Structure formats: C-alpha cells, structure tokens
Amino acid sequence: MHFQFIVAPPTPTLSPPVAPTTESTADLLRQLIDIQREQLGLLQTTASTAGDGNQVRWRNFFERWHDDFPEFPASFREVLPAIERAYLRLMDEMVHHLKDEERHGLEDDFSLGEFLDRFAIRASQIGSILNLLGQMSESVRSEE
C-alpha cells in the first residue's frame, strides 16, 4: 500500500504592522483637519453661489419675458403669503389628524394609505409651488 502525502509549503510568519509614531499620527491628523477646512470652504462657497445662481436664472427668465408679462414678477409678492397660509393650514390639519389618531396611529396599511392619500400629494404639490414662488419672489426682491 502506498499513500501519497501532500505537504503545503511553509508559510512565512506574519508580523504585526509597525505602529506609526505619534509625530506622524499628529501630522496626519493636522493634514486631515486642513483638508476638512478646505472642503468646508468649498461647500460654503457652493451653497452661497447656488442661491445666487437661482436668483440670476429667474431674473434672466423675467427679463426675457418682461414685454409679454410686465406685471408678473411683482405679483409673486402679493400671492406668496396666500400660498404660505395654505401650506401652513395643510400642515396644521395634518398634525391635528395625527394627534387625533394617536391611539391607532399609522400602524396598519389601511390607515397609512388613507393618511398618504389625504395629505402626501397635496403637501408635495403645494410645497413645490411654495418653493418655486419663493425662489421667484426672492429674485425679484434682490433685483430692487
């Protein structure tokens, strides 16, 4: 009887990685902080120019159509409070509905579906309108 034995080659022993010195760790942390400061500055710049970009875009839009709709931009300031009130009334109604249904909540599919049918679409639509009108009226305000 002959048996064949397969012997794996010896594996080198793994040594634990060398711990970095405290000086290099402190230097790496300083570099990380510097990078995070740069990122913060870029984010702040981007955020401030994004708002300005929207205002410039809407101002250009109104200038392009000024001959056809001369009173349109000024009308936004008049209707914006009405849209804001409608949005707040809807939010108030939604909060009261949730408080009244506190004992049942939105635990089952039927009550969740009813809640979404009643509030979600209207809140989304009026929120979008409010956002657009807010941007448009802000561009008109900064123009004056």
User: Does the residue 96 lie in any domain?
Assistant: yes
Give the rounded percent of residues in the chain with a pLDDT score beyond 70. Answer: 88
User: Does the residue 35 lie in any domain?
Assistant: no
Mean pLDDT of the chain: 82
Cα gap 91→144, rounded to integer Å = 32
- Count of domains for the chain: 1
- For the residues 74-102, what does the mean pLDDT come to? 88
User: Does the residue 25 lie in any domain?
Assistant: no
Give the rounded percent of residues in the chain with a pLDDT score beyond 90. Answer: 25
Cα gap 11→43, rounded to integer Å = 50
What is the extent of the structural domain holding 72? 47-143
The pLDDT, as a whole number, for residue 139 is: 77
Q: Are 90 and 126 in contact (CB under 8 A)?
A: yes
The pLDDT, as a whole number, for residue 103 is: 64
Contacts 24+ apart (CB under 8 A), 27-35: none
On whether the pTM is more than 0.85, the answer is no
